[in-house]
Amino acid sequence: MAKAGKKAANKTAKQPAVKSAPVKPAHPKPQADDAPIIALNLPPAKLSPAMAAYFKKCQDKLGFVPNVLLAYAFDMAKLEAFVAMYNDLMLGDSGLSKLEREMIAVAVSSQNRCYYCLVAHGAAVRQYSGNPILGEQMAMNYRAARLSKRQRAMLDFAVKLTLSPWGVEDGDRERLRRAGFSDRDIWDIGAVAGFFAMSNRIAFASDMRPNTVYHAQAR
């Protein structure tokens, strides 16, 4: 039963445009789920020295280059702007912990049902928290997680901003302040929620596929 089911599920029903993923030659056999990386035919450009170094650093530290970077690699200006904004936002100085920023990323991506971001950032929540269940909860329904008041207020704001941004007003900011967030923190919550509003849509526009390796990380 299971075997037959697997075959049916793996049968590729539609054939998107091909995009080579030359940075991952070590993979013994191509995986159905991360090749091609996107459904747009955008041949990779020559990496700038900065980006070549950055890709090497990814390969060394993570063992792979995240597919979103490969997807952007058709144009160095776009890739560098994306990397600069991402690294500042998700890894730079903030009143929000890195875990909290990843929790926002996943809760937002869950509302938009973004496969790429749920897979890649769900893994990050599992890793940062050491709690695989928390990663599942962010991806499935953040309300199911038993969160502190601070984190619940943070995610409520991020999700309202995702679903009905027009309704975010002074009262919503006030609720965050009462939960202990500074005005700078409020900016950061908004900026992370906004960044994934963008990334989710670029992923859907291009049918971006996450690296298969994420699925098994930190389970």
Question: Between residue 91 and residue 120, which ones bind a copy of itself under the rule CB under 8 A?
Answer: 92, 97-100, 110, 112-115, 118-119
Please tell me the distance from the alpha carbon of residue 207 to that of residue 210, in angstroms, as a whole number: 10
Query: What is the 3-state secondary structure of 66-123?
Result: CHHHHHHCCCHHHHHHHHHHHHHHHHCCCCCCHHHHHHHHHHHHHHHCCHHHHHHHHH
Closer of 15 and 25 to a copy of itself (Cβ)? 15
User: Within 16-35, which residues bind a copy of itself (CB under 8 A)?
Assistant: 16-17, 32-33
Please tell me the distance from the alpha carbon of residue 72 to that of residue 95, in angstroms, as a whole number: 29
CA quadruple 213, 23, 74, 17: dihedral sign: negative
Residues with Cβ within 8 Å of residue 169, at least 6 apart in sequence: none
Q: How far are the Cα atoms of 21, 66, 125, 126 from residue 31, in angstroms, in the given order?
A: 11, 15, 24, 23
140 near a copy of itself, judged by CB under 8 A? yes
Please count the residues of this chain forming the interface with a copy of itself, following the rule CB under 8 A.
99
User: Within 47-66, which residues bind a copy of itself (CB under 8 A)?
Assistant: none
Stretch that binds a copy of itself, among 20-28, 45-53, 54-62, 142-150 (CB under 8 A): 142-150
CB of 63 to a copy of itself, least distance (A): 18
**Among residues 35, 134, 154, 155, the one that binds a copy of itself under rule CB under 8 A:** 134
Stretch that binds a copy of itself, among 20-28, 48-56, 58-66, 76-84 (CB under 8 A): 76-84
**Among residues 45, 47, 179, 202, the one that binds a copy of itself under rule CB under 8 A:** 202
What letter represents residue 176's amino acid?
L
Contact 73, 82 (CB under 8 A): no
The distance between the two most distant Cα atoms of the chain, rounded to a whole number of Å, is 56
Please tell me the distance from the alpha carbon of residue 153 to that of residue 177, in angstroms, as a whole number: 10
Contact 192, 214 (CB under 8 A): no
Q: What are the structure tokens assigned to 148, written together?
A: 């502190």
**Among residues 27, 58, 179, 194, the one that binds a copy of itself under rule CB under 8 A:** 194
CB of 23 to a copy of itself, least distance (A): 19
User: Within 155-174, which residues bind a copy of itself (CB under 8 A)?
Assistant: 157, 161-162, 165-170, 173
Stretch that binds a copy of itself, among 20-28, 47-55, 57-65, 147-155 (CB under 8 A): 147-155
Stretch that binds a copy of itself, among 22-30, 45-53, 54-62, 179-187 (CB under 8 A): 179-187
